[in-house]
Amino acid sequence: MSQLRSQPVDALSRAEAQQELEALAQELAAANAAYHRDDTPEISDADYDVLKRRNADIEARFPDLKREDSPSEKVGGPLAEGFSKITHEVRMLSLGNAFSAEDVTEFDARIRKYLGLAADAPLSYTAEPKIDGLSLSLRYEDGDLVYAATRGDGSIGENVTANARMIASVPQTLRDAPQVLEVRGEVYMSHADFEALNAAQAEKGGKTFANPRNAAAGSLRQLDANITKARPLAFFAYAWGAQSAALADTQMASIERLAELGFQTNPLTAICDGPADLIDHYAQIEEQRATLGYDIDGVVYKVNELDLQARLGFRSTTPRWAIAHKFAAELAWTRLDAIEIQVGRTGALSPVARLQPVTVGGVVVSNATLHNEDYIAGRDAKGGEIREGKDIRAGDWVQVYRAGDVIPKIADVDLTKRPDGAQVFEFPKTCPECGSDAVREAGDAVRRCMGGLICPAQAVEKLKHFVSRGAFDIEGLGAKQVEAFYHDDQLRIKEPADIFTLRERDAAQLTKLKNREGWGDKSAGNLFDAIDEKRKIPLNKIIFGLGLRHVGEAASNLLANTYLSWQAFEAAMIEAGAREGSAWEDLISIDGVGEVMAGSVVTAFAQEAERASIDRLIAQLDVQNMPERDTSGSPVAGKTVVFTGTLEQMTRAEAKARAEALGAKVSGSVSAKTDILVAGPGAGSKAKKAADLGVETMDEAGWLALIGA
Ligand code: IVH
């Protein structure tokens, strides 16, 4: 694993978040390839989860920074060459993770909310071990195994039929099965078989495996099925894909049916009545973990009623109706040498603990987040005590842990080991980078440097953001270069516009890029060309590149697609600076633009220095207008829909999710921009307003018919 991230997600600036998402995408892609394609993992599963979780946390905080190649949208890894490909009729998905009892309670609450169930309404789940192997889909037609496929990227897997036929617990034929049935489950290797295989491999000088999962994967994904035959693999069935008829109407009964059909199913599968029961079963399974004889890495919970599963449906790669509750974090004690402060792009001051390196869960940790000044002082956001009120000081003996998060945290302090004279940590009230006041606004846990563009830390972070992938993405000018150029007295790249005057200044002998180490005529010329190439740039990239607080890629696209040209955008933002009137109303009525974001954009245009800097940039560019929107496609694509009154067949959340999945925009209030009002019983003022405005109005049944549900 590369460097551990030491900044808490809530202190990351946008540029930092974006850079980190890029790094995470690369790291996870490499890890995926090593694990899925090459069966030779480079990082532990726990570390992988930690990276995925970190990625998800950053995406949750900056939804608009989510990358097109986001690891959270990916299941599995690239396909190996050599196997033919099979397209899964029903995608093979992954599971969301829970790391604490609280996560489990939230999972249950989310489901109830989505389904519109009261907290005390009965809702049962299955709980079963999460097998640490690799998933396999077995397709049976008329009772015969016709093919077996690995998960691959979730849509397309590898055809491993010949190999799957070698697994004793994979039936070749089924009796009394639906005409089409895809059975899904996990291929794994028991501890005993793994030891024996490794011993035998070592004996004959063959490849040995790091753990049973890799051994299972390496054995299944053999081009020569005779090798698979010699390997002791087993298969647990726990799910299904395409089927011509349902097996049963609950998860549990379906699993029982699979057992009757001849599949091995996990004996620890149980029905649980709610979060408390789930957590209880989790604890029981965890207790047995060491004696099971095969690896498990958590417990999977699934909504038992299949019609509820169907209503809950899926997010992009994970079902809403299931979650994997992973086994817990690891702990270690070490010495905290110093507390340092880092300054991000938006000026957030983030305290970081520098630690005596210590191994936690297989990873050497030397930094940990301290979150914010309250956390160091032993207080939570509401002024309550954390760690029984114990503060954290340089020199302290601290307990470090890593839960489902890449950043190690400090859980506890051992006061008996506190050195004499250890000083209470004084959180700086001025920015350590530029000396400006660092202000903590009411209700904000974070203290921020007020230096704006004069703060070198913020300026550098802004430049890094400007040249990042989703923004200007200038070849040869990455985060490292802009940081170096910022500090170079001759190159003087202090703001984005300076990048575009570099060639001119160089020609006029004002700068001498080629005099810098590592630069010559050719490379300097290439860089100037790469910069010139980006003068012609679409509006959305510019808006994003400005790095305004709260304005990520998705928001930049929304803004660009609304205003279409720089002139229109700038004029509107200046006018909206009054925070009232039609320009402001138009801005905040864009679905996806809230008042906070709108406020941040108009503030930038209202600040003289910032606007001057933006104008200098625009003067260097040839801004490309956005194309007018194409609204063809699904019957409701691009339409703005409002739901009101009582919906009887679905909850609001469900209605919204479905409409959005079809490309509609769901808004909370009726306006002239509304295309369709779906009004259930009890609809009041919104229905009236829609009628006044002549907005098309239909009932729930009409809506369901329109979308073909
Ligand atoms: S259910 C749509 N149940 O964990 C949900 N998955 O992290 C399908 N896994 O891709 C998965 N044991 O390879 C399910 N009892 C279990 C499992 C299990 C292991 C694996 C499976 C899945 C991955 C998700």
And the tokens for 579? 């925070």
Mean pLDDT over all residues of the chain? Answer: 89
Q: Are strands 144-150 and 134-141 parallel, antiparallel or unpaired?
A: antiparallel
CA of 250 to the centre of ligand 1 (A): 17
DSSP for residue 174: -
Q: Which residues are catalytic?
A: 130
- What is the structure's pLDDT at 226? 85
- What is the structure's pLDDT at 76? 65
Q: Report the distance separating Cα 705 and Cα 694, nearest Å.
A: 21
- What is the structure's pLDDT at 336? 97
- What is the structure's pLDDT at 2? 40
- What is the structure's pLDDT at 515? 77
Q: Report the distance separating Cα 127 and Cα 217, nearest Å.
A: 25
Ordered alpha helix ranges (H), 261-312: 275-288, 306-312
**Interaxial angle between packed helices 652-661 and 101-115, expressed in degrees from 0 to 180 and rounded to the nearest 10:** 80
pLDDT-derived band at 296, boundaries 50, 70, 90:
confident
Range with the lowest mean pLDDT among 119-123, 257-261, 548-552?
A: 548-552
pLDDT tens digits, 299-357: 999 999 999 999 999 887 789 999 999 987 667 889 999 999 999 888 999 999 999 98
Residue 633 scores a pLDDT above 80? no
Q: Report the distance separating Cα 386 and Cα 622, nearest Å.
A: 54
- What is the structure's pLDDT at 3? 43
pLDDT-derived band at 263, boundaries 50, 70, 90:
very high
pLDDT tens digits, 406-457: 578 898 999 999 999 999 999 999 999 999 999 998 888 899 999 988 899 9
Pair 507, 485: CB distance under 8 Å? no
Pair 239, 185: CB distance under 8 Å? yes
How far, in Å, are 33, 238, 295 from residue 216 at the CA level?
16, 18, 11
Q: How many CB atoms lie within 10 A of CB 648?
A: 11
pLDDT tens digits, 545-580: 999 988 988 789 889 988 999 999 999 999 999 999
Q: Which among 91, 92, 131, 295 is the best mutation to test ligand 1's pocket, defined by most ligand atoms within 8 Å of the CB?
A: 131
Question: pTM above the 0.75 mark?
Answer: no
- What is the structure's pLDDT at 227? 87
Mean pLDDT, rounded, for 472-499: 93
Pair 498, 459: CB distance under 8 Å? no
Mean pLDDT, rounded, for 33-57: 79
pLDDT tens digits, 225-237: 888 888 999 999 9
pLDDT-derived band at 381, boundaries 50, 70, 90:
confident
Q: Report the distance separating Cα 467 and Cα 469, nearest Å.
A: 7
Higher pLDDT, 594 or 283: 283
Q: Is the CB of 130 under 6 A from ligand 1?
A: yes
Report the percent of the chain where pLDDT is more than 90.
58
Q: Is the CB of 136 under 6 A from ligand 1?
A: no
Q: How many CB atoms lie within 10 A of CB 23?
A: 15
Higher pLDDT, 672 or 536: 536
Pair 99, 326: CB distance under 8 Å? yes
Burial class (CB in 10 A: 0-12, 13-18, 19+), 456: middle
Q: Which among 45, 107, 130 is the best mutation to test ligand 1's pocket, defined by most ligand atoms within 8 Å of the CB?
A: 130
Q: Is the CB of 300 under 6 A from ligand 1?
A: yes
Helix and strand numbers (H, E) in the chain are 25, 24
Mean pLDDT, rounded, for 112-141: 95
- What is the structure's pLDDT at 469? 86
Write the DSSP assignment of 518-583 as a string of letters: T--HHHHHHHHHHHHHTTEEEHHHHHHHTT-TT--HHHHHHHHHHH-SHHHHHHHHHHHTTSSSHH
Mean pLDDT, rounded, for 167-182: 95
Higher pLDDT, 2 or 215: 215
Strands lying side by side in the sheet with 322-326: 97-98, 322-326, 296-303, 125-131, 270-272
Q: Is the CB of 216 under 6 A from ligand 1?
A: no
Range with the lowest mean pLDDT among 205-214, 498-507, 565-574, 666-675?
A: 205-214
pLDDT-derived band at 269, boundaries 50, 70, 90:
very high
**Interaxial angle between packed helices 191-203 and 212-220, expressed in degrees from 0 to 180 and rounded to the nearest 10:** 70
pLDDT tens digits, 405-416: 457 889 899 999
- What is the structure's pLDDT at 405? 43
Q: Report the distance separating Cα 67 and Cα 544, nearest Å.
A: 13
Q: Which atom of ligand 1 is nearest to the CA of 319?
A: 2
Is residue 401 helix, strand or coil?
strand
pLDDT tens digits, 129-147: 999 999 999 999 999 999 9
Residue nearest to atom 17 of ligand 1 (CA): 130
Q: Is the CB of 319 under 6 A from ligand 1?
A: yes
CA of 130 to the centre of ligand 1 (A): 6
Higher pLDDT, 44 or 15: 15
Q: Which atom of ligand 1 is nearest to the CA of 134?
A: 13
Task: Give the bridge partners for 250, in sequence order.
Answer: 305
CA of 187 to the centre of ligand 1 (A): 11
Pair 503, 511: CB distance under 8 Å? no
Residue 460 scores a pLDDT above 70? yes
Q: Which among 300, 317, 327 is the best mutation to test ligand 1's pocket, defined by most ligand atoms within 8 Å of the CB?
A: 300
Residue 651 scores a pLDDT above 70? yes
